[in-house]
Amino acid sequence: MSQKFQEIIDSERPVLIDFFATWCQPCKVQSSVLNTVKENIGEGARIIKVDVDQYPALAAQYGVRGVPTLAIFKKGEMLWKESGVHDVNTLTNLLQQYV
């Protein structure tokens, strides 16, 4: 996964990573928000979900201590990271800054 993950975040296109867990109720809320964000942003950015229980080393590498944690990468650089549930407008506006 880490090689594939690196290829994804090295992209010219911004990538929003959703670090989540299947047992996490707020993560389910965030997931439905991200569906709308994807519709708003279209092909301008990618949204990828990473299950912290399946990829704990990846979560640790990026300092994920709670879920949901969202991070935006572009050209391999982390541009933004925050834990908690975020609304559609906040995330759409954030991603549009980096498109």
pLDDT in tens, 9-48: 999 999 999 999 999 999 999 999 999 999 999 999 999 9
Catalytic residue among 9, 15, 17, 27: 27
Whether 67 sits among the annotated catalytic residues: the reply is: no
pTM over 0.75: yes
pLDDT on residue 2:
80
pLDDT on residue 96:
96
Whether 53 sits among the annotated catalytic residues: the reply is: no
Query: Which residues 6+ apart lie within 8 Å of 65 measured at CB?
Result: 83
Pair 25, 67: CB distance under 8 Å = no
Over residues 45-76, the pLDDT tens digits come to 999 999 999 999 999 999 999 999 999 999 99
Catalytic residue among 8, 11, 21, 24: 24
